[in-house]
Amino acid sequence: MQKVLEKVAITGAEAVAYAMKQIEPDVVAAYPITPQTPIVEYFAKYVADGVVKTEMIPVESEHSAMSALVGAAAAGARAMTATSANGLALMHEIVYIAASYRLPIVMPVVNRALSGPLNIHCDHSDVMAERDSGWIQLFAESNQEAYDLTILAVRLAEHEAVRLPVMVNLDGFILSHGVEPVELYPDELVKKFVGEPKPYYPLLDTDHPVTWGPIDLYDYYFEHKRQQVEAMENVKKVFPEIAKEFEEMFGRRYNFVEEYKLDDADHVMIALGSTNSTIKYVVDELREEGYKVGALKIWMFRPFPKETLQRLLNGRKTVVVLDRALSFGAEAPLYEAVKSALYEVAARPLLGSYVYGLGGRDVKPEHIRKAFEDAIRGNLIADEQRYLGLRE
């Protein structure tokens, strides 16, 4: 069977909406927020034209969007939504509940800065505030990846050893509104890959009435949380299996991380999302100039691929981490995660932390180059948080 339906030039939002169309969830409950809005608009058009049989709930807030999805998923339906920034922050309470209830909800998150002041442009502060929520978190570098990961996420979420909700992150405006070539797969293949949902104790099964969402006293809460830890650990085993199936079906290979010219790299740069395209461009340039540099792109941020990083970064000269978010009063989120993963490696590289791109501040090849040059010159201080593109 032909693996590719057609190659089109579309925005990330349209690509994600198209993936949702092909997945055809039973219920979508969504509230518009820039820059996620086009996803909801495209999907609403599919619903209005009868292209999908999905029931769409035009909820009155993001908090109600996630609440409705918890109800729908517990009832036994396949449920999806999408959001950004303050919308994600508003549903924060229920985001935790969705993970605790082990509901396989898939949610594209179009990354945008959290207010205040109000900013509608790209950064990762919204998803970083959900680090501890218990959701699986994937990051897309391109519109193709946003499309692919949305499809893959459905299988990952619903796997019986996992049963956790998944956030598929794509950079606001850069990917959501930027036009890129995307290869779309045939509907039948996507449907075959995602399969039928397997509900877990659905509410609509009145022959087996169950109680969802009890109160736990101090005698059981801990045990329920420990179960979530186990599920996250299982993701590390299940994801490669599903990624392999995805490759066999669609021809693209996903993993916890992408290694770009990493084999003999002395200096490695790590980042999440679309900035990796710029990093790869600069890596190519520097390689031409004779420097042994490489990029390690993280696809799966939660669960954090600690073992993979330890294996790939042990013995390197330097590792530079780029964060598109801050953690006020502590080290930047991705940097902190990488640093703590590297605590136990035999030969620890020199580390450098760079914060960039907040509130949509453009990150250019010269910024990336500067960070690499610091690394090459050994001019890195692990405890010092540096900034790219900030007017000091």
* Site for another protein, rule CB under 8 A: 26-27, 29, 53-55, 57-61, 63-65, 67-77, 79, 93-94, 97, 100-103, 163, 200-201, 203-206, 208-217, 219-220, 222-224, 226-227, 230-231
CB of residue 111 vs another protein: minimum separation in angstroms?
25
CB of residue 104 vs another protein: minimum separation in angstroms?
11
Residues found in the chain: 392
Scanning 24-119, the segments in alpha helix (DSSP H) are 37-48, 62-75, 85-90, 92-100
CB of residue 101 vs another protein: minimum separation in angstroms?
5
CB of residue 343 vs another protein: minimum separation in angstroms?
27
CB of residue 233 vs another protein: minimum separation in angstroms?
13
The C-alpha atoms of residue 132 and residue 102 are separated, in whole angstroms, by 15
Question: Do residues 18 and 200 touch, judged by C-beta distance below 8 A?
Answer: no
The token duo for 86 is: 């303050």
Helix (H, G, I), strand (E, B) or coil at 171: strand
Question: Do residues 372 and 290 touch, judged by C-beta distance below 8 A?
Answer: no
The C-alpha atoms of residue 388 and residue 365 are separated, in whole angstroms, by 11
Helix (H, G, I), strand (E, B) or coil at 155: helix
The token duo for 15 is: 């690509």
Nearer to another protein, 60 or 384 (CB): 60
Taking the CA atoms of 94, 95, 101 and 105 in sequence, report the sign of the dihedral they define.
positive
Nearer to another protein, 7 or 191 (CB): 191
Nearer to another protein, 14 or 158 (CB): 158
The C-alpha atoms of residue 317 and residue 2 are separated, in whole angstroms, by 44
Residue entry with tokens 């290694």: 259
CA nearest to 288, candidates 370, 369, 377, 375:
369
Nearer to another protein, 225 or 364 (CB): 225
Nearer to another protein, 26 or 336 (CB): 26
CB of residue 167 vs another protein: minimum separation in angstroms?
19
CB of residue 165 vs another protein: minimum separation in angstroms?
11
The C-alpha atoms of residue 226 and residue 230 are separated, in whole angstroms, by 6
Q: Which residues pair with 17 in a beta bridge?
A: none
Nearer to another protein, 67 or 143 (CB): 67
Nearer to another protein, 27 or 279 (CB): 27
Nearer to another protein, 192 or 226 (CB): 226
Q: Which residues pair with 83 in a beta bridge?
A: 109
The whole-angstrom distance between residue 168's C-alpha and the CA centroid of its chain comes to 4
CB of residue 209 vs another protein: minimum separation in angstroms?
5
